[in-house]
Structure 1
């Protein structure tokens, strides 16, 4: 009897519940549980044991000293500031470069559109690490790229300002440059998806009413593409702020980003509570603006 009732329920609602619940189960297993483990480690006490943290016994069950250091130690505050500034610059430059490209993709024929979209995602077909190493070679002081920039600089400035090479490696400029190259497709694709859905007759109507092309863009196209701008900005800013590989290879060791700090605390210092506290703080810093935007966007659309 019970088996038959379960069979009928599964035939009617079971597959739907399974398909809907599978993504939530994935998030619980691979996001929520690891996050709770990191939160628990962040309030533990660092000890010379394996693993290097403990609760209770000779130590407090909840230790807030790691969070106190995150909020007061200049090392972590500078790292957070450097990460946010570099990620914001990268997201802004990706927007400046990616918006015209995404808009152009919507204005070409479908045959060319497919080819150009393939070129946008083509960098993903090669190793991320290999692409970073390629930029390291380009920015080196003996590279042809650096020599070309050096010659251009020496041609434009007085002789007294001449330089032997452009110092690009191990700077925040190099970090932002490589992040822009790496994350540019994450800006172009959401923008293209947003712009492609726009009704072209709105632009034609605005021009028929006497608007100039730049006014049509500012008054019609740009406001309607704000969701794509926000989505692309988040897809670039969030991973860029926590980036580890790029700052480690081309960045300035005296100005580390927060991803490097977390890796060093976990690996070299073996201070897992401190590393966990920094990771939790970074997650809050990244998620809180997203939640605020989603709240006001939902309220503006009348869903809340």
Structure 2
């Protein structure tokens, strides 16, 4: 038995070595280099001296960049909230669907992952632009209503003015919800699918009603999935670059767009690295909060 365990450990180490090597060389080392850059100063076009200065972080905490960071947090929080509101009924529908349709519903949720984000963003532009599907449908409805009013003897409503649905904060939030919604649905479904359904039946038998059962029974049971969904939705939304870059206007830039500008446009890699690691530190805080919530939830279930 001891010999077989040693052999199993050697097989495990052998299988782990390749992905561990990849993780260290292509993730941890580059991240460490960028972290060192955040304590450096520009000495030339491509020359960065690691001096240990905190000036880059001090610059990142000035009112201008704190305002952009706060705006990014607000947009990411609103995106996460909308994803939660939309995803919870979807996850419930998948949970209570028959086994015949459950796999197909999950496939529809995961299908966007099989399409490049750039293509999905261009598709959303086709939907939201002035000549897009939304304004076309609204224009057809407006035209029909105008003809109806004229037929009833009233004055025509005039020409339809397309709505400005692109290149503003509205478009950015719609795009972020569109991109990140599956990240909220999947952990919610995973949690709801494992819950004890006898508790729901007991609540209904005691006259709780559907809404009260959902709020008082399902939501508390789904809290681990809600916490996980919030975390893995909020963090990508906060660090999103492509969606605000393509769907937003000059006043819709988020912190990731500012970081990109520091690396590419301003050629200020130390300051861009400091801004990047401000987001990394916030990510660590979010993961720590999620860990506390999960630990408290486990203690309450065991109590």
Q: Deviations for 1:113-165, whole angstroms, at most 9, x for unmatched residues? A: 11111111122222211110111122111223123346668979xx9999611
Q: 1:121 aligns with which of 106, 110, 128?
A: 110
> Could you tell me which residue of structure 2 aligns to residue 290 of structure 1?
287
Q: Quickly say closer, same or farther: Cα 1:68–1:121, change in 2 above 3 A.
A: same
SS at 1:142 equivalent: coil
The whole-number CA distance in structure 2 between the counterparts of 1:21 and 1:221 is: 42
Q: Quickly say closer, same or farther: Cα 1:42–1:153, change in 2 above 3 A.
A: farther
> Could you tell me which residue of structure 2 aligns to residue 67 of structure 1?
57
The whole-number CA distance in structure 2 between the counterparts of 1:267 and 1:98 is: 37
Deviation for aligned residue 1:40 = 0.5
Contact 2:38 2:273 in 1 (8 A): yes
Name the Cα RMSD after superposition: 2.8
The whole-number CA distance in structure 2 between the counterparts of 1:181 and 1:8 is: 50
Contact 2:168 2:251 in 1 (8 A): no
Deviation for aligned residue 1:29 = 3.6
Q: 2:240 aligns with which of 238, 243, 257?
A: 243
> Could you tell me which residue of structure 2 aligns to residue 141 of structure 1?
130
> Could you tell me which residue of structure 2 aligns to residue 187 of structure 1?
184
TM-score computed with the length of structure 1 as normaliser: 0.85
> Could you tell me which residue of structure 2 aligns to residue 58 of structure 1?
none
Provide structure 1 residue ranges, at least 5 long, that are not aligned to the other structure.
1-6, 56-60
Q: Quickly say closer, same or farther: Cα 1:79–1:160, change in 2 above 3 A.
A: farther
Contact 2:79 2:176 in 1 (8 A): yes
Q: 1:277 aligns with which of 254, 257, 274?
A: 274
Q: Quickly say closer, same or farther: Cα 1:13–1:300, change in 2 above 3 A.
A: same
1:225-240 to 2 correspondence within 5 Å? 225-240=222-237
Contact 1:174 1:250 in 2 (8 A): yes
SS at 1:254 equivalent: helix
Contact 1:150 1:166 in 2 (8 A): no
TM-score computed with the length of structure 2 as normaliser: 0.86
Q: Quickly say closer, same or farther: Cα 1:49–1:144, change in 2 above 3 A.
A: closer
> Could you tell me which residue of structure 1 aligns to residue 10 of structure 2?
14
> Could you tell me which residue of structure 2 aligns to residue 53 of structure 1?
48
Q: Quickly say closer, same or farther: Cα 1:124–1:292, change in 2 above 3 A.
A: closer
Q: Deviations for 1:208-246, whole angstroms, at most 9, x for unmatched residues? A: 223222121111111000111111111111111101111
Deviation for aligned residue 1:10 = 4.6
Contact 1:149 1:166 in 2 (8 A): no
Provide structure 2 residue ranges, at least 5 long, that are not aligned to the other structure.
147-155
Q: Does 2:88 correspond to 1:99? A: yes
The whole-number CA distance in structure 1 between the counterparts of 2:25 and 2:296 is: 31
